[in-house]
Amino acid sequence: MARDMFEPIFKEIFPFWEKITDSDKEYICTNTSAVSYPKGTNVHDGNDCLGVVMLRSGCLRVYILSEDGKDITLYRLHAGDMCMLSASCVLQSITFDVHIDAEENSECYIVDGCAFSSVADRNPDIRIFTLETAVSRFSDVMWVMQQILFMSMDKRLAIFLYEEMNRTNSDIINLTHEQIARYIGSAREVVSRMLKYFSNEGFVEPSRKGIKILDKNRLRELAL
């Protein structure tokens, strides 16, 4: 039953699928669950091992949290994306904790970490796939870090708005200042101040639904 449900998907997303034994396939499928998270719920609080998360629909935000509650978005998962950093028992060398929230109603398949790990132990191809997935996130996180540490605020905000506009294929950015601040690792006050500046310059205007992009080209220039 579980196998009928999950195998067609695993075949598609796991490059190692055809290289593992039939009993390993069976074992992974029977240790997979389909889980739904309503918008706004916490998916992972950094403790224990959540497992290997595959996002079927919705959006998950992966972030780190300081003791005093400050958070920095590392990346967001969209349909088709996979998260290995939530599987601490699969990746022993990952010693930091990530938190995950559902930003939209999200449907996931989650492979139990210990089950995945035990199959990976006897299949170098799985081990390589797992590590490569983690290493590619390393690059994402370094990008975020460079943005936060090196880049001036106006540029960061312009890049965010420009990318968001392209991603959603809409010139209305339907997010609060608070949410934008969290995405770009800043404070709400700073984002509000900068948006006011952008608005004065005629790049954007506040709209009932969020922020309306008026001048894509100048925003793009600023983002370069």
Binding site for its own copies (CB under 8 A): 64, 66-68, 70, 72, 91, 93-96, 124-125, 127-128, 131-132, 134-139, 141-143, 145-146, 148-151, 185
- Please report how close the Cβ of residue 134 comes to its own copies at its closest, in angstroms: 5
Distances in whole angstroms, Cα of residue 130 to Cα of each of 32, 146, 223: 16, 25, 33
CA geometry: angle at 43 spanning 183 and 114, to 5°? Answer: 125
**Does residue 103 contact residue 76 with C-beta atoms inside 8 Å?**
yes
- Please report how close the Cβ of residue 172 comes to its own copies at its closest, in angstroms: 30
- Please report how close the Cβ of residue 126 comes to its own copies at its closest, in angstroms: 10
Nearer to its own copies, 34 or 187 (CB): 187
- Please report how close the Cβ of residue 121 comes to its own copies at its closest, in angstroms: 11
Nearer to its own copies, 91 or 108 (CB): 91
**Measured between alpha carbons, how far is 124 from 121 in angstroms, rounded to an integer?**
7
**Measured between alpha carbons, how far is 97 from 162 in angstroms, rounded to an integer?**
30
- The residue type at 40: G
Nearer to its own copies, 11 or 70 (CB): 70
**Nearest to 222, CA basis, from 161, 164, 146, 140:** 161
- Please report how close the Cβ of residue 142 comes to its own copies at its closest, in angstroms: 4
Nearer to its own copies, 34 or 151 (CB): 151
- Please report how close the Cβ of residue 170 comes to its own copies at its closest, in angstroms: 28
Nearer to its own copies, 150 or 200 (CB): 150
Nearer to its own copies, 29 or 98 (CB): 98
